[in-house]
Amino acid sequence: MESRFTRIVVENSNTIVQMWIKEIDSLKEVNYTATISDSLYDSTNREFAEVIFTSIRNQGSTNAVEEFSGKIIKLGWPLSYITDGLQAFRRVTTDFILSQSEKVDTDYFSNVLSSVNHWIEPIIRQLVNDYTGSWENILSLQRVALQELSAPLIPVIDGITIMPLIGTIDTERAKLIMEGLLQGVIKHNSEVVLIDITGVPVVDTMVAHHLIQAAEAVRLIGAKCILVGIRPEIAQTIVKLGIDLSDFATKSSLKKGFTSALEITNRTIVDLESKEEKVEKLIHLLQGE
């Protein structure tokens, strides 16, 4: 029975394609493809139809489907275009086969539906798998990019680097911080690392534990950590939780931490302007007004 239905569909493929294109054109406004040019939309529809019929002729082979999905995924076509198109093909093909028979009973109708589903399901499965794989790959790349940005180590001057932290610190991110610190200290030959937690909303026992571990690891390879950006509310939380940071140098601001780092590396901030020059500049400014 199915071979008979296949013959009907293949022999009348041009008619079915025209019926299908007419229906899928009406879906352009609702399946997120309205911005695609009419010429590209029409050529892609015809290519899609050819892919479907190739699969039917080859008894469910998805080689052409895989190639087509790779193309439209690369172009950024939405999955709704695929699902809507296949549902429309299912309806059009079912109606056409039924129209070719003079007598349609329950069994015949059931056989038609079964045959059409048998043609469509492998295509749906392949396309959804391809889209899912593409999304997973994109998410994986984005995750890696975010991880690289989540714990950057920035060299400021010789021997001093800064690691600004923003957002929540969980176990996975703490591991990245630890790895980034150790690799960065060696790479930049750092003597002092300033860990800036100004952008960390909450510092609880777990976060403090991770930071202390990171500082201890840095100390073991010959550098020193200074924790900066401790806001008043963070300080209160640390005290209430009984977190011991006595072995961890801390400063309330990045400026103060950087000053300490300069002292540790035997540097000082020198004002190049004398008091007389400052007074003279001030007089000139007042005279200018």
Is a pLDDT exceeding 80 seen at residue 6? yes
What is the CA 222 to chain-centroid distance, rounded?
A: 36
For residue 276, the model assigns a pLDDT of 66
pLDDT at 170: 76
Q: Which domains does the chain have, with CATH numbers?
A: 2-147 (1.10.490.10), 154-264 (3.30.750.24)
Distance CA 116, CA 225 (A): 67
Q: Flag the least confident range among 124-138, 140-154, 177-191.
A: 140-154
Task: Name the band, by pLDDT with cuts 50, 70 and 90, for residue 15.
Answer: very high
* Phi (first) and psi of residue 250, to 5 degrees: -130, 150
Contacts 24+ apart (CB under 8 A), 211-220: 211/169, 211/248, 212/245, 212/247, 212/248, 213/174, 213/178, 214/174, 214/177, 214/178, 214/181, 215/247, 215/248, 217/178, 217/181, 217/182, 218/181, 218/182, 218/185, 218/193
pTM of the model: 0.51
Phi, psi angle pair for 164, to nearest 5°:
-80, 130
A 10 A CB-CB count for 242 gives 7
Of 10-19, 71-80, 179-188, where does mean pLDDT reach its minimum? Answer: 71-80
